[in-house]
Structure 1
Amino acid sequence: MSRARHLQPLPVPPGAGALDVLPALQRALDGDGPARIPVRGDDGAEARRLAAALAGPLTPAEDAAEDPTALVIATSGSTGTPKGVLLSASALRASAGATHRRLGGPGHWLLAMPAHHIAGIQVLVRALLAGTRPDAVDTTEGFRPDRFATAARRVLAADGPHYTALVPTQLSRLVSAGGDGLAALREFDAVLLGGAATPPALLDRARAEGVRVTTTYGMSETSGGCVYDGVPLDTAEVRVEGETGPVLLSGPMLARGYRHQPEAAAFTGGWFRTGDLGRWRDGRLEVLGRADDMIITGGVNVAPLAVERVLTAQPGVREACVLGVPDPEWGQAVVAAVVPDDTAAPPAEPDLRAAVRAELNPAAAPKRVTFLPELPLRGPGKPDRRALAALFQG
């Protein structure tokens, strides 16, 4: 490009205020405005930190006149220097178009999660490309089912397909609360669910309640979800190395790379190496969790996600997060943070351990179980494993 374009912060207000960014987002997609870094509009310190690390002129390798970089999504930035994922306008459009084709056509979108993350801002991108006006849930007091119902009714009043996107914690709250929130959720033609692993028991319960849930797998580097219900979108490609091994993704929704990292090893030959482990099962991709989350206890490899699935299938368990903590005898000990349905009457720890031993193996059974009213979260809805590790080691 003859003149370097600048990357500028895009403060995104929480809740319904996020809709204020639509004009700037449209300009970024059209290429007649600066590339933008979505940042939290209610956290000035975090916005300044990301701006200091990522803002400024884009290099020739980070932009192109024929396909301008539209957004740079900050990721893995809770500690240290954040990475910035370079997303071109064509990548965002390809992702949104593939989503609409899978779901049944462009429609009306309800934003229910923070729009400075890829899952949230893609809701706005899809609405812009559909030519519809999105609405948003008021989250000034956190995510509340009654506020979801209020916003949903406004979206559902419009003719045509109706869509929203949630993280598992939000779905769990809506299903558990019942009432107007769940009733409204049932009326959406599709509810995209991603951001974190979904407990099978929650998925089964939601579908039994009549919620049209579509699980998604993807990340900022793929402009959001690119595998729906285990099946790649029509323009996405998935490769698993070995019978069970690293997952690689490709397609027109792939990012250019990382800001200030022109030779990032994760992007090679048109593929993105995710860092996740997976396998094909009955023709669908099954993600087994992060390779670096694998627990080695007494010389045995334990996949935390497999243990979480067993725990959340037990009566009285709403959510669970499993991790490994240093242990002088085992190297790492398997521990579990469990959110019970009833905090006053949690399930018996021996029963939970017995279930894991029976379904998996003795090494996978948690050495310690801690019951919490809710899991600490980071990003759009992922359990904060660092905070939980500190809790178990405190």
Structure 2
Amino acid sequence: MTTIVPLRDDDPALLERLASARDAGQVPLVLDARRPPEQLRAAVATASRADLDGIGWATLTSGSSGTPRVVLRTRASWEESFAAVDDLMGAASAIALPAPASSSLTLFSLAHALSGGPRPLLDDIAAADGFHGTPEGLRRVLDAGSAPGLRAALVGGSHLDPSLRARAEESGIRVTAYYGAAELSFVAVDRGDGLVPFPGVELRVVDGELWVRSPFVASGYAGASGPLRRDGAWATVGDRAELMPGDGGGERLRLLGRADDAILSASATIVPDEVEAELRALPGVRDALVFGLPTGRVGALVAALIEPSGADLPLSELRAAASARLAPAHRPRRWYQGALPRTASGKPARAEALRRVLAGEVRRVD
């Protein structure tokens, strides 16, 4: 009988244990050692009760709070994308993986390594000539100069700022950004001229919602349901998007964020991703998170947490710059400054930003 094999992402022998579980026909579940023990026990119990027939991998979602969902997928759902990833990474032989092994993007690369892919480097990345991780992970590698031989980077998990791409490419690194999800795996890639479908993936937008037809979609969840929905061969996790003509022909995918992140104010529905993109373009802004601040009168106020690239930014400058780029309803009414909260893999954590603001843990700019 197929069973779950719980492993920890801080285990120095993790790759060998993954290989042993795979060779024995079991399903490895790599746990985030930083999460509370009760959450980990609940995740293992949930996965152990699931129907594991045909399942090869169990991965955790990267939410910033609460018990993580367990996503179940076949081995083939990852293996069928290995050749395309090899093409994107060129001749990379050793790949830096700064995100924890419990994150699906790192676990994918470990699975790839077990099937002949680049050698994974989880800790000492000095010998890496490839990279797979989040934009924040790439930024830290560049800041530290810890992988001087880096020549190719596969970047996902959150928005890749154009200035970070340019910085990496000026250092001789070929950058491929991608959009995906734990449930969908790779969906679209951007080599610098916009998002196009990942090889083997079809896209369509229905009523503003992105649907994909792909051999890489997960089988489902263990236990509780999640955002993954199906309509025949098509699947969605609820992301909003539009398909637009590309400059060089063909269509480009424009992401508009998850529908349940939308901010309902008194006069408009605001998509945080759109506001964040404008705020990141402001001088002195390293990164930004936008979220709805609940009120009892006019729905939610648009609030922004700004991570400055240097010294703190005066409120007058932020407001003036935002007024020049954003429609009135989309301009933040509350401004905060500080380091953005992130998940263990480096993704910005919007729900955690709201929690910190409500708890008074973040400095408001007055």
TM-score, structure 1 normalization: 0.80
Cα deviation for residue 93 of structure 1 reads: 0.5
Query: 2:62·2:343 contact (CA, 8 Å) conserved in 1?
Result: no
1:338 corresponds to 2:314? no
Question: C-alpha separation between the residues in 1 aligned to 2:95 and 2:227?
Answer: 34
2:47 equivalent in structure 1 = 54
Alignment equivalent of 1:188, drawn from 150, 155, 166: 150
Between 346-355 and 284-293, report the one with greater CA deviation. Answer: 346-355
1:40 corresponds to 2:29? no
Cα deviation for residue 359 of structure 1 reads: 2.1
1:315 equivalent in structure 2 = 283
Structure 1 residues 349, 264: closer, same or farther in 2, change over 3 A? closer
Question: C-alpha separation between the residues in 1 aligned to 2:118 and 2:76?
Answer: 19
Question: C-alpha separation between the residues in 2 aligned to 1:306 and 1:36?
Answer: 37
Cα deviation for residue 263 of structure 1 reads: 11
1:272-351 equivalences in 2 (<5 Å) = 272-281=235-244, 282=246, 283-342=251-310, 345-351=311-317
Query: 1:354·1:365 contact (CA, 8 Å) conserved in 2?
Result: no
How many residues end up aligned between the 2 structures? Answer: 349
Query: What's the secondary structure of 1:308's corresponding residue?
Result: helix
1:63 corresponds to 2:53? yes
Query: What's the secondary structure of 2:115's corresponding residue?
Result: helix
Unaligned stretches of 5+ residues in structure 1: 138-150, 156-161
CA deviation vs aligned residue, 1:97-150 (integer Å, no higher than 9, x gap): 32113333674322211011101111212222225532222xxxxxxxxxxxxx
Structure 1 residues 106, 251: closer, same or farther in 2, change over 3 A? farther
1:238 equivalent in structure 2 = 203
- Write the letter of the residue equivalent to 2:355: A
Query: 1:334·1:366 contact (CA, 8 Å) conserved in 2?
Result: yes
Question: C-alpha separation between the residues in 2 aligned to 1:258 and 1:123?
Answer: 21
Alignment equivalent of 1:103, drawn from 81, 89, 109: 89
Structure 1 residues 263, 49: closer, same or farther in 2, change over 3 A? closer
1:393 equivalent in structure 2 = 358
Query: 2:99·2:345 contact (CA, 8 Å) conserved in 1?
Result: yes
Unaligned stretches of 5+ residues in structure 2: 360-366
CA deviation vs aligned residue, 1:274-297 (integer Å, no higher than 9, x gap): 211111232221211111111122
Question: C-alpha separation between the residues in 2 aligned to 1:42 and 1:191?
Answer: 26
1:123 corresponds to 2:88? no
Query: 2:240·2:258 contact (CA, 8 Å) conserved in 1?
Result: yes
1:218-233 equivalences in 2 (<5 Å) = 218-222=180-184, 224-229=185-190, 230-233=195-198
Question: C-alpha separation between the residues in 2 aligned to 1:131 and 1:101?
Answer: 11
1:252 equivalent in structure 2 = 215
- Write the letter of the residue equivalent to 2:115: L
Question: C-alpha separation between the residues in 2 aligned to 1:91 and 1:152?
Answer: 28
- Write the letter of the residue equivalent to 2:2: R
Query: 1:201·1:312 contact (CA, 8 Å) conserved in 2?
Result: no
Q: CA RMSD in A?
A: 2.6
Between 255-264 and 105-114, report the one with greater CA deviation. Answer: 255-264
Query: What's the secondary structure of 1:195's corresponding residue?
Result: coil
Query: 1:71·1:88 contact (CA, 8 Å) conserved in 2?
Result: yes
Structure 1 residues 24, 249: closer, same or farther in 2, change over 3 A? farther
2:125 equivalent in structure 1 = 152
1:359 equivalent in structure 2 = 325
1:6 corresponds to 2:10? no
Query: What's the secondary structure of 2:188's corresponding residue?
Result: strand
Query: 1:72·1:85 contact (CA, 8 Å) conserved in 2?
Result: yes
Query: 2:73·2:219 contact (CA, 8 Å) conserved in 1?
Result: yes
Cα deviation for residue 213 of structure 1 reads: 1.8
**Bigger proportion of residues as helix:** 1
Query: What's the secondary structure of 1:377's corresponding residue?
Result: coil
Q: Give me the identity figure in percent.
A: 31
Query: 2:62·2:345 contact (CA, 8 Å) conserved in 1?
Result: no
Cα deviation for residue 174 of structure 1 reads: 3.8
Structure 1 residues 322, 264: closer, same or farther in 2, change over 3 A? closer
Cα deviation for residue 220 of structure 1 reads: 1.3
- Write the letter of the residue equivalent to 1:227: A
Question: C-alpha separation between the residues in 2 aligned to 1:206 and 1:29?
Answer: 35
- Write the letter of the residue equivalent to 2:327: N
Cα deviation for residue 37 of structure 1 reads: 1.3
Query: What's the secondary structure of 2:238's corresponding residue?
Result: strand
